[in-house]
Amino acid sequence: MFERDFQEFLRYLTIERGLSPNTADAYRRDLEDFASWLADRGIDSCRAVKREMIVDYLENSLSERAMEPATIARRLVAIKMFFRHLEEEELIPTDPAAVIESPKLWRALPEFLSIEEVDAFLEAWPADDDPLNLRNRTMLELLYASGLRVSELTTLPLTAPDFDNRTMRVTGKGEKTRIVPVGETALELLQRYLREARPFLAEKNPSSPYVFLSHNGRRLNRERIWGIVKEAAVRAGIHKNIHPHTLRHSFASHLLANGADLRVIQEMLGHADIATTEIYTHVDANRLREVHRKFHPRG
């Protein structure tokens, strides 16, 4: 019934958003319960779900089973995240859960790295003559320098970089294209990777149109990039739960902290709605409060 959509959503949570297997499994159980409730009413497609059905499920079905408010809240979070993901991927025309209000508590602020942690993280992977090392360092630099989603990195075509203008054409969610700037360090590494490492990796698949390839010439997948990010964090001695999206969060947070306009950040991230980008204002406010508490004599 909903199985294919569920599996892709859970894969997105674990690979791109870095949720633990236990958390992803909790979302799966919540969504399976909702799907079972829908099936009993003859609904067998995500595209047929209406707002009223979700409200009915929450208010009637869950209350009849005397579930705790915290459980009901968690179920709504799972449903909202699931349908938001489907809408962003253009698998449904509109999100039926979008107008169902959630308490502010449920909107978790993204974790990000300090500038010092980013430096240690990137330098943990040597940009030496080994093709795989050079590939990995280049990917990590691009994730942070341009705020790319890991799905955008895996599908980055050879036609994307514009070295003359120091930009890159990126195709994001919904096949929407945007132009993102590329920092000097990342640009130099990308040029070197394309010149020195990629020809070696492409020997078994010379017609591949993608920038980043595996050792056998195939397009690098999200799981492998996730593993490279995790290994870089271990090498750098960083104990936070780092995943590819952490670098995207860090990119946006550092831009905002240094005075970048929120609308510009929205454009670079490829957010359709400014409200999605505004979460970084809350992150920055938290950072400012922490600095004040730490350094002010009456903090």
Catalytic residues: 149, 173, 245, 248, 271, 280
* Cα 77 to Cα 46, 58, 268, 298, distances in angstroms: 16, 11, 27, 38
CA distance 297 to 154: 48
d(CA 114, CA 249): 11
Residues in CB range of 164: below 8 A, 6 or more apart: none
229 contacts 247 by C-beta, under 8 angstroms: yes
CA distance 190 to 146: 12
177: Cα within 13 Å, side-chain hemisphere: 7
Task: Name the amino acid, one letter, at 267.
Answer: E
Q: How is residue 90 written in tokens?
A: 């253009």
Hey, what are 146's tokens? 């341009």
Distance in angstroms (rounded) separating the CA atoms of residues 213 and 215? 7
Residue 225 burial by Cβ neighbours in a 10 Å radius (0-12, 13-18, 19+): buried
Q: 75 near 106, Cβ under 8 Å?
A: no
CB 185 within 8 A of CB 146: no
Strands 161-162, 167-171: pairing is antiparallel
What is the arrangement of strands in the sheet containing 161-162, beginning at the earlier edge strand? 161-162, 167-171, 177-181
